[in-house]
A and B are shown apart, each in its own frame.
Chain A
Amino acid sequence: MAIATDDVFESDGQQDFESTGDPIHRTRKTAMWVFLGSEVFFFGAMISTFILYRNTTEGGPGSEIFNIPFTSASSFVLLMSSLTMVLADNAFQKKDQRQGRIWLIGTALLGLTFLAGQIFEFTEFVHEGLTISTSPFGSSFYMLTGFHGIHVAGGVLMLALLVAFSLGRRLSPDHGMNVELVALYWHFVDIVWIVIFTIVYLLQI
């Protein structure tokens, strides 16, 4: 949203977002965006740590153990979940809750598939001798991808809650949690994965 600086300082809170729906909605969206801004720094600090330690393998396995085709496939699954999330959001905006629920469940299943892939990958790496205490490389790899996995898991939990609320007719503007906010979060977690996948797996400097 491009607002000239003058307008920002001259306008009051009422006018800023006039076009974007009812007040509580824009307040919630503002908060979610600010929260995601904070998350950028959270992942930024972990990515920096990983870059610092990417070659500090202490004789243990390094980035050569990554299975790029496998992780590419699971990354694709996660990216597709963003598409289903958009479809879910769209359905709810058209007040088609049944359709929306189907897409929400689809999104959650794709998220779970990604998580299963991550668990499989971690197990493989541990068998090949890379654990969190093998080397600073191992520590920073597991921390970064692990916290991303926790974010995905949290997202799946929220999707499941949305489905339950929708079935119980508790999905309304009166409730703090709604599809649009969860969608914002979900897309963010996906985008972070694109960055992680690129920096951790693809850029083998």
Chain B
Amino acid sequence: MALTTSDDLGYTPSTKGLWSWITTIDHKRIGILYAVSALVFFIVAGLEALVIRLQLASANGTLVSADAYNQLFTMHGLTMVFAVIMPIAAAFQNYFVPLMIGARDVAFPRLNAFSYWLFLFSVILLTSSFFLGGSPDGAWVGYAPLSTQITEYVRMDYYSIGAQLLGFASLASSINFVATIFTMRAPGMTLMRMPIFVWMTVVTSFLLIFSLPVIGVGLWQIFLDRNLGALFYEAQAAGDPLLWQHLFWIFGHPEVYVLMLPAMGIVSEIIPVFSRKPIFGYAFVVFSGMAIGFLGFGVWAHHMFTAGMGPVAEAGFGLATMLIAIPTGVKIFNWIGTMWGGRITFSTPMLFAIGFIAMFIIGGISGVTHAVVPANTQQHDSYYVVAHFHYVLFGGAVFGYVAGAYYWFPKWTGRMLNSALGHWHFWLMFIGFNLTFAPQHILGLDGMPRRTYRYAEGMGWDMWNLMSTIGAFLIAVSFLFFIWNVIVSYRKGKVAGNDPWDARTLEWSTTSPPPIHNFDQVPIVHHQDDFWYQKYGEDEEGRAVKLTPEQAGKPDVVEEEGGIHMPSPSFYPIVSAAGIAVLGAGLVFVSSGPIGFAVLGAGAIIALWGLVGWAAEPVTRGAH
């Protein structure tokens, strides 16, 4: 059978112009949209962090008021979690999961576009609060009664509705990934041959699917308390504010692994490639990921050790928390085992991956100290906690995702990121990061409380805080290198070719960037790391030997009848998402009188138009 050309596609969507981006349902373009949005919001949340650090650079800071500070740190947290780390993970998952399993797209391309647009509009709604009524100011955890009692501002209405809508978006995309991975793998791609990154996507998706509805209920309860006079968290009417803490952390703790596991997956892809060895103990890495997922649901109350749950609950949750260190440690040993005896190249993705392991170990160890209940009571709400979760989420997750960006940029654009600039980025970020967050361990143990807009002189905190502020600006500078690198390399970078890293997984077997249908012919998979075995055989001592073209032969593919039918572009996903976001804006202002109701109604009509049109529209227009 001749190679499939784009002429054989049922319908070739235009790839130029704004309209093509608005109506796109191609998982690769949606991945790029997620990545660009995440970078933009990273800059926003990063600037918020810099203002926070400037305010705290010296004692009695006067840059911002307490009120502004509360909004800044709340929005920094919300934005980084929901608008930076989750979408950058979604960017990689969208782009690479179908490629890695040999699929042509995700299971539901229009639902995928809907998820992206709903995410984008929700973040815009949340961020617009700066200009329209004030931003959420009750921390990203939104504890009652802070979140429920002050109803003269709409700030926490933004929180309740914004997080709710972001939850819908994530839920839709998680269901999409599960359906894709479970039912659309190429022939021969058994579950235990899937790349680790795909496995971690499975675990992450299930974590979101089971935890988002729980926070959804909590957020609606906040909304009802604020706007309809419900009494869920009203202590004076025997409502129990602790219920919120439970509901929040039943979501909030799995959420931490939602942020972490995709980064672990990326690192598990990068380290074998640059050590030129298969991942050490594949099954262990997979099952420890699942173990983290399961245990992640049983440790939520370690965030609440100071709430007075009683010794039995505290001991139980403390032990469960310590237990979770075991699968995490297993993963770290597997990464080190993979590097051991390998031929390691210190290219930029590998540097960031190793940085990830090192920083994540520090964050993991300070995390285990939280599992010890008496120590936890001392550390609670202090800068020690801030240091810990930044080591995990920045030193861990962000290093991992940046590693992924350097690793996969050639596949996205067909060009390499500049290696010298990449090294500058790494070292500045590595030093800046440690300078920012290492001193916060000391500050925390010395008693400096978090979420406090200033501190008095003479506490001995000035020097450490100043160091931390200088470090934060170093991180900012390091990202200027990154952004510069992206801009320059996108235009003039070295041309990458299909497989610049001599990598192992299927996404490298197609062109860079891949064609709209990903693979001209769907591959048939015979091994884990199948692409590697298309390129390499083994000699008698088990060393990899490059196959000659004659030895390699032609890769095994599915012989398909007829052309490939890709789903057609559609504008209904963006209409539905916009309608739901407008409806959300109406809910935020619903207690402010008729305007709220008008917006609500308009949103409902737009959403209904979008959803009904979507349901009535055939998947492939003009086919058959």
Contacts and interface: CB of A to CB of B under 8 A. Distances in A.
Interface of A: 8-14, 16-17, 23, 26-28, 30-31, 34-35, 37-39, 41-42, 44-46, 49, 52-53, 56, 58, 132-133, 135-136, 138-140, 142-143, 147, 161, 165, 168, 170, 172, 174-177
Nearest to B176: A31
Contact of B183 (A23, A172, A175): A23
A49 B220 CA distance: 12
A135 B615 contact: no
Contacts of A138: 231
Given A31-B176, A135-B231, A41 B247 contact: no
A174 B620 contact: yes
Contacts of A165: 615-616
Interface string B97-117: 000010000011010000000
A8 B231 CA distance: 47
A136 B230 CA distance: 7
A139 B189 contact: no
Contacts of B184: 13, 23, 27
B185 interface: yes
A42 B217 contact: yes
Name the prevailing secondary structure of the A interface residues.
helix
Interface in B207-221: 209-214, 216-218, 220-221
24 contacts: A9-B191, A27-B179, A28-B107, A30-B183, A31-B108, A34-B209, A38-B209, A38-B213, A41-B210, A41-B213, A45-B216, A49-B243, A56-B239, A58-B237, A133-B228, A139-B230, A140-B232, A143-B221, A143-B230, A147-B220, A165-B615, A172-B618, A176-B108, A176-B619
B448 to A, nearest CB: 35
Interface in B492-536: 525
Interface string B598-618: 000000000000001011111
Contacts, number: 151
A115 B180 CA distance: 36
Interface in B176-217: 176, 178-192, 209-214, 216-217
Given A12-B187, A143-B220, A177 B615 contact: yes
A46 B217 contact: yes
B209 A174 contact: no
Q: Which of B212, B230, B232, B234 has the most CB of A within 10 A?
A: B230
Given A13-B184, A31-B178, 18 more contacts: A13-B101, A13-B182, A34-B179, A34-B209, A37-B209, A41-B210, A41-B213, A42-B214, A44-B214, A45-B218, A53-B232, A58-B238, A133-B228, A136-B232, A136-B239, A147-B220, A170-B616, A175-B617
A3 to B, nearest CB: 12
Interface string B22-39: 000000000000000000
B224 interface: yes
Contacts of B171: 35, 38
Given A27-B183, A30-B178, A143-B224, A133 B229 contact: yes
Nearest to B246: A48
A177 to B, nearest CB: 4
B381 interface: no
Contacts of A34: 175, 178-179, 209
A154 to B, nearest CB: 10
Contacts of B210: 37-38, 41
A27 B103 CA distance: 13
A39 B614 CA distance: 22
Contacts of B250: 45
Contacts of B209: 34, 37-38
Interface in B544-562: none
A14 B229 contact: no
Shortest 6 CB-CB distances between A and B: which pairs?
A133-B229, A42-B213, A13-B185, A139-B230, A45-B217, A31-B179
